[in-house]
Structure 1
Amino acid sequence: MNPYDFHSWYPRGTRRAIAAGANHFVATVDDTTVLKYPVAPQEAANLYLPDAQRFRRSILRRLGKHPRIIQLKGKHEDGLLLEYLPNGSVERYLVANPRTSVKQRLVWGRQAAEGLAYIHTKNVIHGDVSVGNLLLDPHLSIKFCDFQGKFLNADGTVALDDGSSERSMSSMPRSDHNNHDHKTDIFALGTALFVIVTGNLPFPDLDTLDEDEIQRRFEEHEFPPLEKLPGGDVIRNCWTGSYNSASEIIVDLQKLEKTVE
């Protein structure tokens, strides 16, 4: 099989494909479960995606059951059995519902911070915090998915590392982009918060491929206007590295929520 020539396929027990990414499909198994599986059958998957499924399974097992984390529901020879969240991602929801209230947007921001704070207490680095990886449960509450980063031993040494897949407008300026930690996750959360609040990326005049200019603006603190934006100070503090933990973000967003009807 040509590793670059992929066609839809359906593993045992799946009903219909409902989503696809660069290297995976998602198909329903039943009304509460989906299977996330490689774009190529298992015998060919290792040609281009070694150990990725095993890595994500290990992280989800470490995180366990939590209201802000997508639930791992069992084993399957071809991928990950996950809870089905039919409301999709925050990214897609905002496109379909651009008039979502400020209150709801701030609730999502606080919930995202709650999820990230919990993830970090488990010595896990997400590595790809974005609105596309924040899913919505039936109550429109946030759950993190698609972990890309690493998890650490109790002494801080790396147990497993799957790299970082941050988008250019979510990437904290640094010399080594393979070096990701709590701070890079918090920076990316700042961009996610900006998108949640505004519905737009930080620099609409730039293409996401304009990485050098994006990084220059972030490095020199040439941020989009934040002064009149709900949560603007929180976003700025994420981008400037002022927060030491996601727990601090929760506190600030809880205060802000109380001021919005």
Structure 2
Amino acid sequence: MIGATMSMMMNSGNKNMKSKIESNLCIVSEYVKGGSLRSYLLKNRDKKLLMKMVIQFALDIAKGLSYLHSKKIIHFDVKPDNILIDDEYKLKLVDFGGSVFRPFGGLFLMCGENGTRGYMAPEILRRKLCGQKCDVYSFGICLWEIYSCDIAYPYDSGNKTIDVYKERPSIPVKCPRSMARLITQCWDTDPRNRPEMKEVVVELEKMMKYEGWQAMSQVEKVASGY
């Protein structure tokens, strides 16, 4: 956010009449020219993303959510449509219209569905107590989509039943074991089995370090004539 104005003075154009003040809200925000993560994934649907980019994208989202959770904020609508890419290929979380601030943390009961079906944690759909782990579930779906460069639920998930979470997509055969394990942990139907976002950050950083080591090993092999 760059700035905002809460009201605007409107001149009536008539000297004998007082100027009219209308209440208007205008928010000026950064222009993120890379568009949404959703559109980027669809553009690369056929060729997929390099593993290093998959991990970096996931790290950007995980770090953002970890920060929000440290401030007792739950996003509640994490999905590629609400993630933008800047000109340096850094991801930014947007659309906090459904976000909730929980200063004392803990679980609470949602009065209705909050988020987008397909990304929505089963505890929300079942009208059970929920908390920050709802974002972790949504992240798990996003992580699958980033790795697969595909849409987890290509149909209209808004018309699906509350059992939509039982139809999660299958993990690609070539998906690295560590990535597959993280995806399945994040979208576990039981929130108690899901990791905290700060733990997800640690796991992704380990994967990134391993990717760098792998790349260096390949360079060394080429230099050695193998």
Query: TM-score scaled to structure 2, two decimals?
Result: 0.70
Judging changes above 3 Å, is the alpha-carbon distance between structure 1 residues 180 and 133 closer, same or farther for their aligned structure 2 residues?
A: farther
- 1:114 matched to 2:63? The reply is yes
- 1:253 matched to 2:204? The reply is yes
Judging changes above 3 Å, is the alpha-carbon distance between structure 1 residues 258 and 190 closer, same or farther for their aligned structure 2 residues?
A: same
Which residue of 123, 135, 139 corresponds with 1:185? 135
- Partner deviation per Cα, 1:119-152 (whole Å, 9 max, x = no partner): 1111111010011111112210111110122002
1:120-159 paired onto structure 2 within 5 Å: 120-147=69-96, 148-153=98-103, 155-156=104-105
Higher relative contact order (CA 8 A, sep 6+): 2
Structure with the higher fraction of residues in strand conformation: 1
1:66-145 paired onto structure 2 within 5 Å: 72-76=1-5, 77-98=24-45, 99=47, 100-145=49-94
Say if 1:106 and 1:257, in contact at 8 Å, map to a contact too. Answer: yes
Deviation at 1:226, TM superposition (A): 5.2
Which residue of 187, 192, 198 corresponds with 2:148? 198
Q: Which amino acid aligns with 1:81?
A: V
CA RMSD of aligned residues (A): 2.6
Gaps of 5+ in 1: 1-71
How many corresponding residue pairs? Answer: 181
Say if 2:186 and 2:195, in contact at 8 Å, map to a contact too. Answer: no
SS in 2 for 1:111: helix
Say if 2:42 and 2:150, in contact at 8 Å, map to a contact too. Answer: no
Say if 2:141 and 2:183, in contact at 8 Å, map to a contact too. Answer: yes
Deviation at 1:213, TM superposition (A): 4.1
CA distance in 2 between partners of 1:112 and 1:173 (Å): 21
Gaps of 5+ in 2: 6-23, 216-226
Deviation at 1:217, TM superposition (A): 3.6
Identity of matched residues, %? 25
- Partner deviation per Cα, 1:94-116 (whole Å, 9 max, x = no partner): 22233332211111011110110
Which of these two proteins has the greater Rg computed from alpha carbons?
Answer: 2
Which residue of 187, 192, 198 corresponds with 1:239? 187
